[in-house]
Amino acid sequence: MFSPLIDELMQALRVLPGVGPKSAQRMALHLLEHNLPGALRLAESLTKAVEGVRRCNRCRTLTEHELCMICRSNKRDAGIVCVVESPADVIAFEQSGVFSGRYFVLHGHLSPIDGIGPTDLGLDVLDAQLQSGDINEVVLATNATVEGEATAHFVAEMARRAEVTVSRLAQGVPLGGELEYLDGGTLAHALSSRKVIEF
């Protein structure tokens, strides 16, 4: 139905998450019909990013340099490392403005079924950092999934062997959430993670 080049563009757009055949068709036709300068800018930016972006040598987030801006900053507390599953998690923390330490990005979680083990997540790199004695606390911020919890447990054991304090993000009832709409797992986690109120 479409020429080979248009069809190839539509297939290329489908690699993006959430983009199916119709969305890819709509995007491709919009760029070609209404925004050729935008299409060229997109192609240039994508090429530059693919060629120039790499993983930070210390925290493994995405950057163009050997060390990312966060790892290079002397305003960050190098003694506290927050372990997250993806660069998107780093962005979420940074946008909140509540964390002043450094990060370690796993780029996934342990999943033996999929063949993803500790070295695939750079846990050997994290272990070396923990053994160096420069880290005082590891904050576990993996997702509250079975795989995320297993990964958090594995990292916690590594930190304990290095005699580093381990903490876990509190999870449970979201701010503004109503109990009747929470699933049983969330409610159970919130209840088991309850804190004593000091008067």
171-197: pLDDT as tens digits: 776 777 776 777 777 777 777 777 665
Look up residue 82 and give its two tokens: 């927050």
Cα–Cα distance, 120 to 131 (Å, whole number):
19
> Confidence band (pLDDT; 50, 70, 90) for 39?
very high
pLDDT score of 199:
62
Look up residue 176 and give its two tokens: 């503004």
Q: Give the count of domains, the chain.
A: 3
Look up residue 180 and give its two tokens: 């009747």
118 lies in the same domain as 154: yes
Give a yes or no: residue 58 inside a domain.
no
**How large a percentage of the chain has pLDDT more than 90?**
79
Contact 8, 25 (CB under 8 A): no
Give a yes or no: residue 125 inside a domain.
yes
115 lies in the same domain as 197: no
Look up residue 48 and give its two tokens: 């530059």
Look up residue 26 and give its two tokens: 């709509």
152 lies in the same domain as 98: yes
Rounded to an integer, the average pLDDT of 100-122 is 95
Strand bridging mode 62-63 / 54-55: antiparallel
Paired with 56 in beta bridges are none
Residue 192 belongs to what domain range?
A: 171-199
The residues, ordered by sequence, that sit 6+ positions from 134 with a Cβ below 8 Å of its Cβ are: 78, 79
Give a yes or no: residue 85 inside a domain.
yes
Give a yes or no: residue 33 inside a domain.
yes
